[in-house]
Amino acid sequence: MSDSDPKFHPLSGTNYPQWSGEMQAWLMTKGLWRLVSGAEKCPGTDTEAIEKWELRAEKAAEQRIHLDGIIDDPVKI
Protein backbone atom coordinates (compact mmCIF):
# COMPACT_ATOMS: atom_id res chain seq x y z
CA MET A 1 0.00 0.00 0.00
CA SER A 2 1.46 3.38 -0.97
CA ASP A 3 1.22 6.59 1.03
CA SER A 4 -1.63 7.74 -1.19
CA ASP A 5 -3.72 4.61 -0.61
CA PRO A 6 -6.64 4.87 1.79
CA LYS A 7 -5.98 3.94 5.41
CA PHE A 8 -9.25 2.58 6.71
CA HIS A 9 -10.76 -0.67 7.89
CA PRO A 10 -11.42 -3.30 5.22
CA LEU A 11 -15.07 -3.80 4.38
CA SER A 12 -16.68 -6.67 6.24
CA GLY A 13 -20.20 -7.98 6.66
CA THR A 14 -20.76 -5.78 9.71
CA ASN A 15 -18.97 -2.46 9.19
CA TYR A 16 -20.48 -0.96 6.02
CA PRO A 17 -21.57 2.35 7.68
CA GLN A 18 -18.07 2.95 9.07
CA TRP A 19 -16.34 1.81 5.89
CA SER A 20 -18.51 3.87 3.56
CA GLY A 21 -17.99 6.98 5.67
CA GLU A 22 -14.24 6.46 5.63
CA MET A 23 -14.28 5.85 1.86
CA GLN A 24 -16.32 8.99 1.23
CA ALA A 25 -14.06 11.09 3.45
CA TRP A 26 -10.94 9.78 1.74
CA LEU A 27 -12.35 10.43 -1.73
CA MET A 28 -13.26 13.94 -0.60
CA THR A 29 -9.66 14.59 0.49
CA LYS A 30 -8.57 13.57 -3.01
CA GLY A 31 -11.18 15.83 -4.63
CA LEU A 32 -12.86 12.81 -6.22
CA TRP A 33 -16.09 12.34 -4.28
CA ARG A 34 -18.24 14.47 -6.60
CA LEU A 35 -17.09 12.35 -9.54
CA VAL A 36 -17.69 9.03 -7.79
CA SER A 37 -21.09 10.08 -6.48
CA GLY A 38 -22.13 11.36 -9.91
CA ALA A 39 -22.66 14.94 -8.72
CA GLU A 40 -20.02 16.30 -11.11
CA LYS A 41 -20.89 15.79 -14.75
CA CYS A 42 -18.65 16.09 -17.79
CA PRO A 43 -18.41 19.71 -18.96
CA GLY A 44 -20.11 20.75 -22.20
CA THR A 45 -17.91 21.28 -25.25
CA ASP A 46 -14.75 22.93 -23.87
CA THR A 47 -12.05 20.48 -24.99
CA GLU A 48 -9.54 21.48 -22.29
CA ALA A 49 -12.16 21.24 -19.54
CA ILE A 50 -13.28 17.85 -20.86
CA GLU A 51 -9.69 16.54 -20.83
CA LYS A 52 -9.17 17.69 -17.24
CA TRP A 53 -12.49 16.15 -16.21
CA GLU A 54 -11.62 12.86 -17.91
CA LEU A 55 -8.28 12.65 -16.07
CA ARG A 56 -10.04 13.22 -12.75
CA ALA A 57 -12.73 10.70 -13.70
CA GLU A 58 -10.02 8.11 -14.37
CA LYS A 59 -8.53 8.73 -10.92
CA ALA A 60 -11.99 8.38 -9.40
CA ALA A 61 -12.59 5.17 -11.35
CA GLU A 62 -9.45 3.68 -9.82
CA GLN A 63 -11.09 4.10 -6.42
CA ARG A 64 -14.57 3.13 -7.56
CA ILE A 65 -13.46 -0.49 -7.82
CA HIS A 66 -13.68 -0.57 -4.02
CA LEU A 67 -17.43 0.00 -4.30
CA ASP A 68 -18.35 -2.11 -7.32
CA GLY A 69 -20.06 -5.36 -6.50
CA ILE A 70 -20.50 -4.41 -2.85
CA ILE A 71 -22.82 -1.45 -2.57
CA ASP A 72 -25.88 -3.31 -3.92
CA ASP A 73 -25.20 -6.66 -2.26
CA PRO A 74 -26.60 -6.79 1.29
CA VAL A 75 -24.65 -9.96 2.04
CA LYS A 76 -21.35 -8.27 1.19
CA ILE A 77 -22.38 -5.10 2.99
**Terminal CA-to-CA distance of the chain, rounded, Å?**
23
pLDDT of residue 51: 92
Q: Evaluate whether residue 7 is within a structural domain.
A: no
Burial of 14 (0-12, 13-18, 19+ CB in 10 A): exposed
Burial of 32 (0-12, 13-18, 19+ CB in 10 A): buried
Q: Evaluate whether residue 8 is within a structural domain.
A: no
pTM listed for this prediction: 0.61
Q: Evaluate whether residue 31 is within a structural domain.
A: no
φ and ψ at 54, to 5 degrees? -65, -40
- What pLDDT, in 10s, does the model give residues 10-56? 788 888 888 888 888 888 888 888 888 889 888 888 899 999 989 88
Which residue type occupies 62? E
Q: Evaluate whether residue 52 is within a structural domain.
A: yes
Total domain count, the chain: 1
